[in-house]
Amino acid sequence: MVQKGHIHKNILDLIGGTPMIRLNNSVKSFQGEFFAKYEGFNPGHSSKDRIALFIIEDAERKGLINNESTIIETTSGNTGFSLAMVALVKGYNCILAVSDKSSKDKIEMLAAMGAKVYVCPSNVGPDDPKSYVNFAKKIHNETDNSIYINQYFNELNVDAHYSTTGPEIWKQMNGDMTHFIACSGTGGTISGVAKYLKEKNPNIKVIGVDAYGSVLKKFHETGVIDQNEIFPYKVEGLGKNFIPSSTKFELIDSFVKVSDKESAHSALELTKSEGIFLGYTSGSILQALKQLSGDNEFKKDSRVVVIFPDHGSRYLSKIYSDEWMFENGFYDKTNTDIKKIKYI
């Protein structure tokens, strides 16, 4: 609904307040009711807008940055775009170290928003100087008057979602929910929301979604970082080969792992069944729901809230590209999801 006579002072005013949407066709075979908090409605098209604004404004209040400051961060793409957007509006410089897993679309968008972008290899260990985390630290040390956001180890990542996303979900659901399910990468979203929701109702079950190739699920279960769990995978913004301090494992009841291929197909299924143009990790969410439903996690009276983290426009050269899907073995000649485009 449009408010008469209301004009926003800039694009940053639109961050947060994203809609809660009932899921229908994609979950019709599951027991319970399912609702999605769709973060693609943020102006930067992802949940990362929240932490970018929250962390930068915290630095402003503390006097840590000025008009000549440079914002530096590691990102799979979404955080970088959000930081670049906030930095541009507020007048700061922005340098980003990006994983080469990030889609070409995401990388091009970062540069278009005025950031200086360095693309780093994803198939190296966390201690390698070429890893995007270590490279960003190097740039920070070499750049005067810079601030390193460090989302993986920044408590403000959790605080941003505790202060905004959590209260929004509780209000939108009128406190009536049984499960909260979210992808876990940095862990900021799931941890911040879980902290708020469990303060309101400790019985709400929090389930994290992890990727095959990541160590999060096994670490949660055993307290051990198993190097044998680590191998390259395609899905972005999900899982990690190290343990971020912004992941509060004590607030998460369990994890479920999903594969690249199943996540990609589930994202396409979501888009076609619900009419919402969603990103890769939203497919991971639906795939997790399928697996949890198969394990009888949900009952008739379950009310399940999930996070859809971003918009599908970031993945046009990946899961929405038939060529990319074929190249990665996600399609074969019998696949029925292939787009039918005819040129006359």
Is 200 marked active-site?
Answer: no
> Do residues 285 and 269 touch, judged by C-beta distance below 8 A?
no
Range 257-271 burial, b when 16+ CB lie within 10 A, else e: bbbbbbbbbbbbbbb
Of 241, 258, 102, 234, the closest CA to residue 181 belongs to: 258
Of 280, 266, 288, 279, the closest CA to residue 208 belongs to: 288
Determine how many CB atoms are found less than 10 A away from the CB of residue 74: 26
> Do residues 48 and 236 touch, judged by C-beta distance below 8 A?
no
Separation between Cα atoms, residue 207 and residue 69, nearest integer Å: 38
Separation between Cα atoms, residue 188 and residue 246, nearest integer Å: 6
Q: Which of 9, 28, 37, 48 is catalytic?
A: 48
Tokens, residue 140: 């920070």
Separation between Cα atoms, residue 146 and residue 117, nearest integer Å: 15
Separation between Cα atoms, residue 42 and residue 155, nearest integer Å: 22
Phi, psi for residue 301 in degrees, rounded to 5: -95, 10
Phi, psi for residue 255 in degrees, rounded to 5: -125, 155
Handedness of CA 270, 272, 275, 277 (dihedral sign): positive
Q: Which residues are catalytic?
A: 48
